[in-house]
């Protein structure tokens, strides 16, 4: 079984695939991120679907990279008889054609290398064996609503419900494979030219990356993270998924295995701010339009997450035929957390729209009207308990972080009214913000420990409290903030990494089996920078860079005990942290806008 970090991401800003270091596509969802996977070996076995393309002889060394500022994967396999390069990508841009495709190219670099491909297509998350028939230039696989066309200039044949092929590639020779998806009731679209499509896709990614305004010392890592975030954007609607996978575990062998192929308002908002801050304004505009469509309706029915086209019903179900990644069952699709109540999404949304207006995104009247309605609703519910940022399925509480971000919602709205001339009840909302602020300082603070706490009445801390100075709730030098940072260092910082919170069944102060949360560690680097502890901040940042895989990708968590990444992969939250912290460390004045004075 490959480690999570052994995989590479390829995608076309609509669907995605994970490619192992050995050359096996073990996860493939077409035509959308949330489509039923036709390769699901990641969560099971090769018989649940995979596409292997690799040398048929022992490999001495494998190296891989993305081609320049693109999502085009190049993998070099060296054997005793030669060197071969496999190029994997999903076409995107004007030259991508009408369908959803995945292209695999083989180039002989040195000597002669014997190659083998083993294609196992299994629709509906590895459950359904398709009907496969030969056609001119390849094969077609069909089952229910899905059709995949396989074209290649390599001779293929059926073997035990697999499609296989063997060939030898010599220096200077080239071979190609293409899979094309379309609905089974429609006529096949025109086949593409894989080599011309490679050039077109390369140019599209380069043109997109050229918009980046970040020129700091960590540009390579930042650019890779921005490309990853772009790859998680669903172009047809503007929605942004949290990750392209489901059920990669937060603890090996555990049950905290969730489907992240949806659009969390919070995650998408953080992604939006990271993209806007580095010159990608069009994504902000597309996301705003997605948001307006998704949340349209009664403010009381706003959800924490939606489908990538704005779907509201995301029922959670189990797939018992899949054993799970390294036995981490159950495998889930859908997400019951969509029914949770989380106060902070109102503030995240208001903060994102606030930033969008600051960078010059055209004012959308309907956007402001929606924000007004949402804040009117928030006025009546901010003092209720909620499920919190970490979606703990253990009952609602008055989470301190949730209240703080509710304060952000009113604070940012008032600023937009005062600074941009928008119409709204500024005085009333400033009074509401002050009331929330006062309550948090009274009920969310433990005088004995000199720290803010995870929830009212509690004594434990939560890594999300690191956001208090970042969002401007209190100045970074406020004694209460200093005390909170110290408490988080004491309770949640281990091996230079930050855990989200302590579990009731914790071992040595750490969650059993769960890794440290990558984004939370970046938050600690942010507050260190704000405190003037720049060397410590940079040390954390450099340490986090060392934990990315060889392609610069990050999962949701990292476990220092196991020395490996955990959780869905690659994770938008993690790459947001990398981009945002790099930006902060590259900026001379790291102080947030509008920090309140000490009460």
Identify whether residues 155 and 217 lie together within a single domain. Answer: no
Identify whether residues 202 and 231 lie together within a single domain. Answer: no
Sign of the CA dihedral running 583, 584, 590, 595: positive
For residue 470, pLDDT over 70 is answered with yes
The answer to the question of residue 201 being in a domain is yes
Looking at residue 238, what is its pLDDT?
A: 92
Sign of the CA dihedral running 253, 255, 261, 267: negative
For residue 354, pLDDT over 90 is answered with no
CATH code: domain of residue 336: 1.50.10.10
Are 327 and 251 a contacting pair, CB within 8 Å?
no
Task: Enumerate residues 6+ apart whose C-beta is below 8 A from 346.
Answer: 302, 374, 375, 377, 378, 405, 406, 409
CATH code: domain of residue 132: 2.70.98.50
Place of tokens 């005085």: 427
Q: What is the DSSP string of 509-548?
A: TB-SSPPEEHHHHHHHHHHHHHTT-HHHHHHHHHHHHHHS
For residue 481, pLDDT over 70 is answered with yes
For residue 166, pLDDT over 80 is answered with yes
Identify whether residues 503 and 579 lie together within a single domain. Answer: yes
End-to-end CA distance of the chain: 54
Last residue of a domain, one of 143, 174, 207: 207
Taking residue 454's Cβ as centre, other Cβ atoms within 10 Å add up to 25
The answer to the question of residue 598 being in a domain is no
Ranked by mean pLDDT, the top range of 96-100, 289-293, 474-478 is 474-478
Q: Which of 486, 533, 489, 492 is nearest to 515 (CA)?
A: 492
Identify whether residues 398 and 492 lie together within a single domain. Answer: yes
Taking residue 538's Cβ as centre, other Cβ atoms within 10 Å add up to 17
pTM here? 0.94
Looking at residue 510, what is its pLDDT?
A: 43
Lowest mean pLDDT of 107-116, 121-130, 287-296, name the range. Answer: 287-296
For residue 578, pLDDT over 50 is answered with yes
Identify whether residues 349 and 486 lie together within a single domain. Answer: yes
Six-digit token string for 7: 């995989």
Q: Which of 463, 465, 485 is nearest to 401 (CA)?
A: 465
| Helix-then-strand count for the chain, H and E | 14, 27
pLDDT-derived band of residue 367, with 50, 70 and 90 as boundaries?
Answer: confident
Identify whether residues 143 and 95 lie together within a single domain. Answer: yes
Domain extent at residue 247: 211-585
Rounded distance between C-alpha atoms, residue 244 and residue 250, angstroms: 15
Task: Enumerate residues 6+ apart whose C-beta is below 8 A from 413.
Answer: 350, 354, 371, 375, 424, 429
Identify whether residues 201 and 224 lie together within a single domain. Answer: no
Looking at residue 511, what is its pLDDT?
A: 46
For residue 507, pLDDT over 90 is answered with no
pLDDT-derived band of residue 363, with 50, 70 and 90 as boundaries?
Answer: low
Mean pLDDT of 229-247: 95
Identify whether residues 380 and 410 lie together within a single domain. Answer: yes
Phi, psi of 118 (to 5 degrees): -130, 110
Identify whether residues 419 and 293 lie together within a single domain. Answer: yes
Identify whether residues 288 and 162 lie together within a single domain. Answer: no
Question: Into how many domains does the chain fold?
Answer: 2
Are 291 and 248 a contacting pair, CB within 8 Å?
no
Mean pLDDT of 153-175: 95
| Residue range 556-574, pLDDT digits in tens | 999 999 999 999 999 999 9
pLDDT-derived band of residue 512, with 50, 70 and 90 as boundaries?
Answer: low
Rounded distance between C-alpha atoms, residue 96 and residue 90, angstroms: 8
């Amino acid at each position: 079984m490959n480690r999570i970090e052994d995989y590479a991401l390829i995608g076309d800003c609509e669907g995605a695939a994970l490619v192992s270091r050995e050359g096996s596509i073990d996860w493939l969802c077409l035509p959308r991120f949330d489509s039923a996977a036709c390769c699901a070996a990641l969560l099971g076995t090769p018989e649940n679907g995979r596409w292997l393309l690799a040398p048929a002889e022992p490999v001495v060394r494998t190296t891989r990279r993305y081609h320049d500022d693109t999502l085009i994967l190049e993998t070099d396999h060296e054997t005793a008889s030669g060197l071969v390069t496999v190029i994997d990508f999903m076409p995107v841009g004007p030259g991508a054609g009408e369908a959803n495709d995945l292209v695999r190219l083989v180039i002989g670099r040195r000597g002669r290398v014997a190659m083998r491909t083993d294609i196992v297509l299994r629709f509906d998350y590895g459950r359904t064996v398709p009907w496969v028939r030969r056609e001119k230039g390849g094969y077609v696989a069909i089952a229910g609503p899905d059709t995949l066309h396989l074209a290649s200039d390599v001779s293929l044949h059926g073997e035990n419900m697999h499609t296989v092929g063997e060939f030898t590639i010599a220096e200077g020779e080239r071979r190609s494979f293409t899979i094309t998806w379309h609905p089974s009731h429609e006529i096949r679209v025109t086949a593409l030219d894989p080599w011309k499509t490679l050039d077109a896709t390369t140019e599209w990614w380069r043109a997109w990356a050229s918009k980046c305004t970040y020129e700091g010392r960590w540009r390579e890592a930042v650019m890779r993270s921005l490309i990853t975030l772009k790859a998680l954007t669903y172009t047809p609607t503007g929605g942004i998924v949290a990750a392209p996978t489901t059920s990669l575990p937060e603890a090996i062998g555990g049950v905290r295995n969730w489907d992240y192929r949806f659009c969390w308002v919070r995650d998408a908002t953080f992604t939006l701010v990271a993209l806007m801050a580095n010159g990608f304004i069009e994504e902000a505009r597309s996301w705003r339009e997605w948001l307006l469509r998704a949340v349209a309706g009664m403010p009381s029915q706003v959800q924490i997450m939606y489908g990538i086209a704005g779907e509201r019903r995301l029922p959670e179900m189990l797939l018992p035929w899949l054993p799970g990644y390294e036995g981490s069952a159950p495998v889930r699709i859908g997400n019951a957390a969509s029914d949770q109540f989380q106060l902070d999404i109102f503030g995240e949304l208001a903060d994102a729209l606030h930033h969008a207006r600051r960078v010059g995104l055209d004012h959308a009247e309907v956007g402001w009207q929606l924000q007004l309605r949402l804040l009117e609703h928030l006025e009546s519910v901010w003092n209720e308990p909620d499920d919190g940022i970490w979606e703990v399925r253990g009952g609602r509480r008055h989470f301190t972080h949730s209240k703080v971000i509710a304060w952000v919602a009113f604070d940012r709205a008032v600023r937009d009214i005062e600074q941009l001339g928008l119409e709204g009840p500024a005085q009333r909302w400033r009074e509401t913000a002050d009331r929330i602020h006062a309550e948090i300082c009274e009920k969310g603070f433990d005088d004995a420990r000199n720290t803010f706490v995870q929830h009212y009445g509690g004594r434990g801390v939560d890594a999300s409290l690191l956001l208090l100075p970042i969002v401007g709730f209190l100045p970074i030098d406020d004694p209460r903030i200093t005390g909170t940072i110290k408490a988080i260092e004491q309770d949640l910082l281990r091996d230079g990494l930050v855990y989200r919170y302590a579990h009731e069944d914790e071992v040595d102060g750490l969650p059993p089996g769960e890794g440290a949360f990558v984004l939370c560690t970046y938050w600690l680097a942010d507050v260190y920078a704000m405190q003037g502890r720049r060397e410590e901040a940079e040390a954390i940042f450099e340490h986090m860079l060392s934990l990315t895989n060889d392609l610069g990708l990050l999962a949701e968590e990292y476990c220092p005990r196991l020395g490996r990444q955990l959780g869905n992969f690659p994770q938008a939250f993690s790459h947001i942290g990398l981009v945002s912290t790099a930006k902060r460390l590259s900026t001379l004045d790291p102080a947030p806008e509008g920090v309140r004075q000490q009460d």
